[in-house]
Amino acid sequence: MKLLLTSGGVTNPSIRAALVNLLGKPVEEASALCIPTAMYGHPWSGPGVKAWEFISGRSENPMVDLGWRSVGILELTALPSIDADRWTPMVRETDVLLAAGGDVLYLCHWMRESGFVDLLPSLTDTVWVGLSAGSMVMTPEVGADFIQWRPPSGDESTLGLVDFSICPHLAPDGEPGNSMAAAQRWRTRVTGPAYVLDDRSAIVVDDGRVEVVSEGTWELLP
């Protein structure tokens, strides 16, 4: 699987160009499935209006509204009640998966609970575009600062498809988001390398290669 791990979505031409490069074709020729699941677990984002805004492409974070050839919905919480042959072919045939932000452990729980995570190793040509929690779920851990909802198992680990952690929404002091000072405190609570990204930055992971694409501010905290 190819990863485009964003803080705020596809917010500028550089991130969009990275997306097109991963796809190997224009956005207008690619099919997408949006995954709103993370939003339901977070008190700021859903369920409700914000989930509808994401699905309908009316969100302030550019994801669904990029001009895809087609867009569908993959709701992970529904998958356990549906035969796998109803949804796995659809996922395999889709070019890109758009994972909304929200609560990262809620998203991770339903990726596991639904069996969706078991499909990931076979999706070698699929592009995963994460927004905030949708990016963080691919890391090994998120740190206590980003944990609100907890799964029944108590497991606070995330998927670990990459070997670094992410602190999204870097912002200047006094503005909405996470200050660099807050990010540095967060860094002391996670192991391994950690990236701090503002909403104009993203990380590309493709065939073992890791690259930051940015028109804003980011930092690697070793």
Residue 16 tokens read as 């969009």
- Look at residue 207 and tell me whether its pLDDT is greater than 90: yes
Model confidence pLDDT, tens digit, residues 19-55: 999 999 999 999 999 999 999 998 877 788 999 999 9
Alpha carbon of 222 to those of 138, 190, 205: distances in Å?
Answer: 18, 11, 18
Residue pair 5/168 in contact (Cβ under 8 Å)? The answer is no
Per-residue pLDDT at 175: 80
Predicted TM-score (pTM) of the model is 0.96
CA distance 110 to 119: 13
What is the percentage of the chain residues whose pLDDT exceeds 70? 100
Comparing CA positions, the residue from 219, 194, 202 lying closest to residue 142 is 194
Per-residue pLDDT at 36: 97
- One-letter amino acid for residue 198 of the chain: D
Provide the b/e sequence for 4-14 (b: ≥16 CB within 10 Å). bbbbbbbbbeb
Model confidence pLDDT, tens digit, residues 166-179: 999 999 877 878 99
Q: Which range among 114-128, 141-155, 197-211 shows the weakest confidence by mean pLDDT?
A: 141-155
Per-residue pLDDT at 78: 97
CB atoms within 10 A of CB 134: 29
Residue pair 84/22 in contact (Cβ under 8 Å)? The answer is no
Please give the residue that has the higher pLDDT: either 127 or 154: 127
Structural domains in the chain, CATH included, are 2-221 (3.40.50.880)
